Structure 1
């Protein structure tokens, strides 16, 4: 069997305690139907209604107000879910295999903005540390991907403000064998079947599911069993947590030992409406670097629109980085195409309830704070949504 090292971004939580100790030392110095798993070719998004962001004005403006290079720290290996960030890397880029980063001219709509961008990967390369910790360990990092519920829990130690939601919905999902469980149409139905769910490790959404009666504690398998071997070895008797943008395609198309569709539902669609992969900055920089953020956030919004409309060139860069970095991460063109199609189909990346890509719904943030307060020991009583996220820099005219 060709062994896939399937994504483990969830493992960053396990590194958080150690990472926070490093930070301290440094500072001292409506529900959707579940998706099926066909493997479509890449699907282009509908034509955008917004004009391409930036032109020559940006070339002057960014050089005046933004760091050079502008460093963005990602939360995982190169993948299409990060395509809107890699879209910003222009021709003439250089790959640093030792640092696991790529640097090149930062472009907006194909135009040079006058500064460089450096994109760094997460995961194994950074010891699975969460980005909010890395932001405080390395002041060269300007912004990076954070998870809203983690940012809430760690705000007292590493305060981060998210300035753009690159995902409208988290891609995190549960999938199962529809042949074994023909009467299961959503995650909650697995409870009636008594199905074990391979969850990998503890997570706040699991505690909330148990509190809300969506899942029984007896269904939880937190053994971090290897993928895809554990799922296949169980012969369809278990469900599994993973990413709707990857594992369903991998299991059906790239793992012949399984070789058939699974059924999938986003965790988001159970009511746990996480902002995953939010683009965050150090809390002070939301004020101190506001001039830069005011210019650069709309550029990043438009880059996501441009990527979804024409993903192939940027996906080729992503595949090149996978090959050069050679970390053991297996990522194929088929998975890249499937990721884009699935993000569009399920609304993972795109507009929310309005015509804007990248803005935050404050009511959702209120709901997430309530969940953190309900099922964790973190004290979030003094936090307001505006402490954690902001739409100040969003251009509401930019969307799909």
Structure 2
């Protein structure tokens, strides 16, 4: 977004948004997900922030982290003693139903349950472009809100489109109709896509995320990132300005 001015919207997780705040600030205008459905991990992919948080909170030891995860199930199948990164709306289904050398249920928990309760997949714009894009955002954000609400109540048509798109693009991991249906049910049942405490789809509750946001900032600073003020001025990183309170 900072190297190509033709890109106006991006999807940025809450921890990434904080990490970018000192030098490449973006503003979340609506969250697609209430929280990240990622699962607590020992085998992880590189450059994730939540494993560092789990270590800082004493829930894992740094010596337990293995950053070799590549998205494939082979490591887990070959060594079921390990715990592995994944998404609650994906890997539990594919391991049980689409991994012939495993094909049995797996247990999981989500990082949100450990307290890592940050908004995921925020629709964002560059902070310095917010005012210029305001007329567009006032129209597009309510549409995005309605899309989330409609997906929860009727996901089939969207799922069919996603399955078709993934099937046409070989670099993507295969995405079956069964996985899409499972994902839609979990996202609804676990309220990953859901209205906020105010009853509105796609709104921000800054009070809820203040503690975890301050934790993330402290963690990043301990790793050498520029210092940010405390408490974090979340109203400069997220805004409900364009959110329609009618989407309930």
Same fold (TM over 0.5): yes
Rounded to whole Å, the distance in 2 between the matches of 1:222 and 1:277 is: 22
Deviation of 1:220 after TM superposition, in Å, equals 1.7
Q: Which runs of 5+ in 2 are unaligned?
A: none
CA contact (8 A) 2:40 2:51 kept: no
Deviation of 1:357 after TM superposition, in Å, equals 1.1
1:280 to 120, 124, 146: 124
Rounded to whole Å, the distance in 2 between the matches of 1:226 and 1:209 is: 20
Shift >3 Å, 4+ stretches = none
1:354 to 198, 221, 234: 198
2:17 to 151, 163, 169: 151
Q: Does 1:339 align with 2:183?
A: yes
Deviation of 1:202 after TM superposition, in Å, equals 4.5
Matched with 1:201 is 46
Superposed, 1:218-367 pairs within 5 Å as 218-224=63-69, 227-234=72-79, 236-367=80-211
Deviation of 1:298 after TM superposition, in Å, equals 0.8
Q: Aligned with 1:150: secondary structure?
A: helix
Q: CA RMSD in A?
A: 1.8
Aligned residues: 243
Deviation of 1:388 after TM superposition, in Å, equals 0.6
Q: Could you report, residue by residue, the CA deviation over 1:240-278 in whole angstroms, capped at 9, with x for unpaired residues? A: 111011000000000021111111111011111121101
CA contact (8 A) 1:166 1:279 kept: yes
Higher strand share: 1
Q: Could you report, residue by residue, the CA deviation over 1:41-62 in whole angstroms, capped at 9, with x for unpaired residues? A: xxxxxxxxxxxxxxxxxxxxxx
Q: Aligned with 1:162: secondary structure?
A: strand
Rounded to whole Å, the distance in 2 between the matches of 1:328 and 1:285 is: 32
Call closer, same or farther: CA 1:365–1:139 in 2, change over 3 Å.
same
Matched with 1:388 is 237
Matched with 1:142 is 8
Matched with 2:213 is 369
CA contact (8 A) 1:360 1:390 kept: yes
Point out the structure with max Rg over C-alpha.
Answer: 1
CA contact (8 A) 1:169 1:275 kept: yes
TM (normalized to structure 2)?
A: 0.91
CA contact (8 A) 1:171 1:245 kept: yes
Superposed, 1:28-107 pairs within 5 Å as none
Q: Could you report, residue by residue, the CA deviation over 1:291-317 in whole angstroms, capped at 9, with x for unpaired residues? A: 221121111101111122111111111
CA contact (8 A) 1:359 1:391 kept: yes
Matched with 1:111 is none
Task: Single out whichever of 197-206 and 140-149 deviates more from structure 2.
Answer: 197-206
Which structure is higher in RCO with an 8 Å CA cutoff and minimum separation 6?
Answer: 2
Rounded to whole Å, the distance in 1 between the matches of 2:113 and 2:25 is: 28
Deviation of 1:284 after TM superposition, in Å, equals 2.3
Rounded to whole Å, the distance in 1 between the matches of 2:137 and 2:172 is: 35
Rounded to whole Å, the distance in 1 between the matches of 2:207 and 2:165 is: 38
